[in-house]
Structures are given as structure tokens and as C-alpha cells.
């Protein structure tokens, strides 16, 4: 999920579209911030952190490690990473992940003025088991508000109605590099 902060006087769709089309690094382009809710072992946390820093290239990343996880604060030395001092215990199917991301968001807002998110900056909320496989920065700069699962995969998933009025998932359709659909392909044939 990507959150876009409001900016006084620039709330129109036209302003948002114009800003989202600016190339990364241009004057007025949005910065990317990440809220990462990490958990479990040091090895997993460091792998997800390295993957996120590589494929998202955030200005800053707020890192929360759950209460029952290894503490990596002394290991991670990347200056973009801000360690959340809170360590919330997380239960399956609970609302704690939202509280963690809100805590990370508060941590980002407490940074010095030049380092904190503002305007149309993007804040990407990631779970501790996220695996990215290509540069996400260009897509995040173009995102007007939030991204759905289909923006993170080369496989298109969609629902179809059955004759009994119930919906079920269609066979996946693999997308070409230009975004056009390929015929339904057996996953085992894709290399």
C-alpha cells in the first residue's frame, strides 16, 4: 500500500497527475519512504531489509521489529534506516500491523524537517515477508494513491462469474513486458 500525503493547494486530480508524471529526481518529484514491519530471525529481517533498500531505494525506511523477533538495531548501519524503539507483539489476523505502520509513520514525521515526508511523498507499507524482484521506484513515483496486488506481479489475476452465480479465480494470464496479455500459459512452461 502506498500513501500519498496531501499538499495545500495541490489536491486536484490534475495536480496529482502532473506531479506523478515527473521523472525521479526532478525538482518537485516525490520522495519514497518505507514503513517495514519486520519479524522473526535476524537473517529474514536483514534479507527483507536489503531487498527493500535495493528495489525501492527509499529516502528513509522506518523499521519495526516485533516483540518476539531478533533485535537488529546494532547490526543495520544504513543511514536511511530509522529504528522504531517500540516492539509490538503481533498476532495472526489482528490489527497490530496497522498500529505498527502508524507508529513507523509517527517516527518518520518526527525526523528533522529536511528528512521527513511531506507534500506528495510516497509512504510504502510493507510486511516483513515482502519480496520485491525489480526496481519499484519508477512505479511508486507514478502511483497516484495506492497499488493493488496486480501491480507487483507479471501474472494477472481476475475473477470470473460461474453459471451458478458464484465467482472464482480465472487461470492466471502472464503479461508481456509492454503490459499486454499473453494467452493463458501453464506455469510450468514459464521459465
Domain boundaries, the chain: 2-147, 155-189
Q: Is the pLDDT of residue 152 over 80?
A: no
- Rounded to an integer, what distance in angstroms lies between the CA atom of residue 81 and that of residue 59? 9
- Rounded to an integer, what distance in angstroms lies between the CA atom of residue 83 and that of residue 100? 12
Query: What mean pLDDT comes out for the span 31-44?
Result: 93
- Rounded to an integer, what distance in angstroms lies between the CA atom of residue 172 and that of residue 8? 42
DSSP string, 12-62: SHHHHHHHHTSPTTSTTPPPEEEEEEE-S-HHHHHHHHHHHHHHH--SEEE
Percent of the chain at pLDDT exceeding 70? 60
Condensed to tens digits (0 to 9), the pLDDT of residues 39-94 reads: 989 999 999 999 999 999 999 999 999 998 988 988 999 999 999 999 998 877 78
Question: Using an 8 Å Cβ cutoff, are 61 and 136 in contact?
Answer: no
Helix (H, G, I), strand (E, B) or coil at 3: strand
Q: How sure is the predictor about 125, in pLDDT bands with cuts at 50, 70 and 90?
A: very high
Selected residue with higher pLDDT from 124 and 16: 124
Question: Using an 8 Å Cβ cutoff, are 83 and 108 in contact?
Answer: no
Query: What mean pLDDT comes out for the span 142-151?
Result: 59
Q: How sure is the predictor about 21, in pLDDT bands with cuts at 50, 70 and 90?
A: very low
Q: Give the three cell numbers for residue 27.
A: 525538482
Q: Is the pLDDT of residue 15 over 90?
A: no
Q: What is the mean pLDDT of the chain?
A: 74
Condensed to tens digits (0 to 9), the pLDDT of residues 95-124 reads: 888 899 999 999 999 999 999 998 888 899
DSSP code at position 72: -
Model pLDDT, residue 181: 55
Count the alpha carbons within 13 Å of 48 in the hemisphere toward its beta carbon: 23
Q: Give the three cell numbers for residue 109.
A: 514525521
Question: Using an 8 Å Cβ cutoff, are 64 and 81 in contact?
Answer: no
Amino acid at each position: 500500500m502506498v500513501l500519498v500525503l496531501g499538499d495545500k493547494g495541490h489536491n486536484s486530480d490534475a495536480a496529482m497527475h502532473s506531479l506523478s508524471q515527473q521523472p525521479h529526481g526532478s525538482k518537485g518529484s516525490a520522495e519514497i519512504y518505507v514503513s517495514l514491519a519486520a519479524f522473526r530471525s535476524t537473517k529474514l529481517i536483514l534479507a527483507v531489509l536489503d531487498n527493500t533498500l535495493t528495489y525501492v531505494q527509499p529516502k528513509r525506511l522506518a523499521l519495526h521489529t516485533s516483540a518476539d523477533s531478533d533485535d537488529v538495531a546494532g547490526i543495520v548501519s544504513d543511514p536511511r534506516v530509522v529504528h522504531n524503539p517500540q516492539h509490538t507483539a503481533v498476532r495472526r489476523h489482528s490489527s497490530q500491523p496497522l498500529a505498527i505502520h502508524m507508529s513507523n509513520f509517527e517516527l518518520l514525521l518526527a525526523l528533522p524537517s529536511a528528512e521527513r515526508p511531506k507534500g506528495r511523498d510516497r509512504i510504502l507499507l510493507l510486511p516483513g515477508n515482502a519480496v520485491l524482484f525489480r526496481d519499484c521506484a519508477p512505479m511508486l513515483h507514478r502511483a497516484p494513491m495506492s497499488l493493488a496486488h496486480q501491480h507487483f506481479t507479471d501474472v494477472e489475476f481476475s475473477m470470473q462469474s460461474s453459471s451458478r452465480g458464484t465467482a472464482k479465480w480465472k487461470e492466471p494470464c502472464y503479461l508481456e513486458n509492454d503490459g499486454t496479455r499473453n494467452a493463458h500459459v501453464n506455469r510450468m512452461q514459464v521459465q
